[in-house]
Structure formats: structure tokens, C-alpha cells
Amino acid sequence: MRKTFSIMLDYEETRREQKLLAFGLLKKPVIFQGYVSCGWGVDKVGFVIVTYGICDAIGSFSLGYVIKRTGRVPIFMFGAILNIIVIVILFLWHPDPDKAYIFFILAGLWGIADSVWQTQINGEMNYV
């Protein structure tokens, strides 16, 4: 076990993946929960997070097939662009409880972007 951690800390490639993994863990839906609870109600948070989880699971499953045809770099680019789009929308958007579908759309897009980060970073770490 000690040898494994020393190898992980010695190689530059693993440091890069560790930073990406930390980024992936920091952007969990906790941020999005604030938008839902303040903008729509605390009782609706669970429904939106379930949407996030379903889209994350579907994205994770389907990325295995897509990566065989495209490679990792286009998948990383897709996840980064999708993540940036969702973050910009969250910065500019004023939550409105009358437009509940927007909460679900943003949670679904966030879940797909997270599925890219989680599966591909873990796959890259296993590859190294």
C-alpha cells in the first residue's frame, strides 16, 4: 500500500489526474442544491437531484461506447464545454419557481457533464 501511494505521488501524470479528480469532487451538486432550495423550495431538492443522478448514470454508461469511437480528448472537451455552459447559465439565471423545468434541464446537463469527468478521470488514472 505504501509503495502504491509513493508511486502515485512521484509521477507527474498522476498529479495532473489528481487535480482533475479533486475538481470533479468539488463541483458536486451541492452548489446546485442552493439554487433549488432558494429558488423553488427545499422540498423539491430531492426530485432535482434524482434527475441529476439519472442523467449522470446514463451518461456514464453511454460514454463507454462513445469513447471507443472518439477517444478521450473529444470526450473531455465535451464535458468541459458542457460544464462551462451550465456554470455560466447558473451565474446569469434568476431562479423562477414558475419555470420548474429549467431546474431539471440544468440538473440533467450538470449530471451529464459530471459523468464525463468522473468516468474519464478514473479511466485515465487507471490507464496511467
Residue 35: predicted pLDDT: 83
Cα 41 versus chain centre, distance: 23
Please give the mean pLDDT across all residues of the chain. 80
Q: Into how many domains does the chain fold?
A: 1
Alpha-carbon distance of 16 to 10, in angstroms, equals: 11
Q: Which of 18-27, 51-60, 65-74, 99-108 has the lowest mean pLDDT?
A: 18-27
75 close to 112: Cβ distance less than 8 angstroms: no
Portion of the chain with pLDDT greater than 90, in percent: 35
Q: Which range marks the domain in which residue 84 is found?
A: 2-127
Which one is predicted more confidently, 29 or 63? 63
Non-local CB neighbours of 127 within 8 Å, separated by 6+ positions:
none
pTM: 0.76
Residue 109: predicted pLDDT: 94
